[in-house]
Amino acid sequence: MNTGKSILIQAAALFSFGVMPAQQKIVHTDFSKGTWESVGKGLQRKWVSGAESTFAFWKMDKGAHVPPHQHPNEQVTYITKGSVKVLMNNKEYIVKAGGVLIIPAGITHEFFCLEDGTEDLDFFTPVRKDWTDGTASYLQQQGNPLEIVAQFNDVRPGNVAVSRTGRVFATIHPLGAPKQQLVEIVNGKPVPFPSAALQKNGGPASNDQLDTPLGITVDKENRLWVIDMGLELGKTRLWWFDLKKNKVAEKIELPADIAPKGSFIQDVAIDEKNGWAYLAGIANPGIIALNLKTKKARRFSGHASLQSEDVDIIIDGKVIDFGGKPARVAVNPITLSNDRETIFFGSMNGTSWYKVPARLFRDNSDDITIGNSIQKFGDKPISDGAATDKSGNHYITNLGGHSISKLDANGQLTELIKDGRLKWPDNVAVSEDGYLYISVNQLNSTPAFSGEADKGKPPYFIYRVKL
């Protein structure tokens, strides 16, 4: 995704929804890359499925336990490191490194890990459908329960934001060419915001209406900000809305040399203290710093931290494509520390969360100085959105894990919540009253990602969970 040509290909995928002929897909991925999916205490996995079988790689800590279960799949277990105890048919099997155990279909079995660092390769036939549909016990809810905030029956929510008084707003994802672009959630339902007149309503793009907005946030002054990618109009615009008057307060058009036609600038963080906006662009991957007072902008690009890593998005055992090849999406989530002095960011197809001093952008430091100041803050999952709270905790969507990961202020990564209903958790927002809001839209089932007819199963949701 590092060339103009690839961006044009992706734009075509977004709006033409071309469907590739159905055929058996050859899967080639690398389990040595990417993050592990946590499925229980001391139990992590990576897995992939073909048309007829599922392959899994497990990493276990001593004491990890897989409770009694059965499935209509024959299972071949190969312990490559450490050892496990398996209970099956009232008999105990100790399987050490190099040992193989074949478990027939329909037989109840139970695993206990006997050593730290145990590694297990499992082969199942046919495909583990209880994994792909989220009904296996490993995918059952962990953490506080999800609460439904809004339900969308015919469109997908994009990103979500919560005002300081508890009002909830969402963009409508441009995949699908929706008639509405920006909504407020009222009594659990989306209502055009600030009015129907500002929505595109199925017509051609207009300078006076929203085009293809995605990133959305509310700053400490309770102003609503929306970044409009302008994929049809050909202009990137940053809108801010006065929530007291419920109307547009300002519309800032980014210069064409900073955000040329075809840019995918889809996430934004606002520094209301110093009057700056920081935006993440995945075309020519970069961070755009916009002075909200002078309207001058600069782009920082070319640094390795902004690029996609060569790591696959794997969801429900499938490698996710975009535009007909494995997705490689660059810098996307971007947030700010509570004091607005640190910018945090990472790529969607990336496993590192980075930080850099915001003052370097305010001082117009050169790219070399900024690049030398970027530091890795911690690990992250393959993700689409992130939010940072007042205490310095980062909440990052975990696309492959059906979960939200928490990277705390000390750089420790854990799972906040895991729930099979989190099917492509796109974006998150932290509210003043201690909730995390999550937009969920099954984006991987759209033609742009799957290359097939839309397999999304409405409704789509905005959830929240108590922190």
pLDDT digits (tens, 9 = 90+) for 48-106: 999 999 999 999 999 999 999 999 999 999 999 999 999 999 999 999 999 999 999 99
Give the Cα separation of 434 and 443 in Å (integer). Answer: 27
Q: Is the pLDDT of residue 46 over 50?
A: yes
Average pLDDT of span 191-214: 96
Q: Where are the domains of the chain?
A: 39-139, 147-466
Instruction: Provide the pLDDT for residue 231.
Output: 93
Average pLDDT of span 182-193: 97
Tell how many helices (H) and how many strands (E) occur in the chain: 5, 38
Instruction: Provide the pLDDT for residue 11.
Output: 41
Task: List, for residues 150-180, the tens digit of each pLDDT value.
Answer: 999 999 999 999 999 999 999 999 988 899 9
Instruction: Provide the pLDDT for residue 196.
Output: 97
Average pLDDT of span 424-440: 98
Instruction: Provide the pLDDT for residue 450.
Output: 83
pLDDT band of residue 6 (cuts 50, 70, 90) is very low
Q: Is the pLDDT of residue 13 over 60?
A: no
pLDDT band of residue 23 (cuts 50, 70, 90) is low
Distance (Å) of CA 62 to CA 37, 65, 85, 122: 17, 9, 11, 18
Q: What percent of the chain has pLDDT over 90?
A: 85
Q: Is the pLDDT of residue 43 over 70?
A: yes
Instruction: Provide the pLDDT for residue 138.
Output: 63
Mean pLDDT of the chain: 92
Q: Is the pLDDT of residue 135 over 90?
A: no
CATH number of 147-466: 2.120.10.30
Q: Can you give the pTM of this predicted structure?
A: 0.92
Instruction: Provide the pLDDT for residue 451.
Output: 82
Q: Is the pLDDT of residue 19 over 60?
A: no
Q: Is the pLDDT of residue 397 over 50?
A: yes
Q: Is the pLDDT of residue 372 over 80?
A: yes
* Top-confidence residue, 19 or 68: 68
Residue 428's SS3 state is strand
Q: Mind giving me the DSSP string for 439-454?
A: EE--GGGSHHHHSSS-
CATH topology of domain 39-139: Jelly Rolls (2.60.120)
Positions of E strands within 187-263: 189-192, 213-218, 223-228, 237-242, 247-253
Q: Is the pLDDT of residue 351 over 90?
A: yes
pLDDT band of residue 132 (cuts 50, 70, 90) is confident
**Token pair 């929706």 is at which residue?**
178
Structure tokens at 65: 């336990």
Instruction: Provide the pLDDT for residue 26.
Output: 86
Average pLDDT of span 135-158: 87
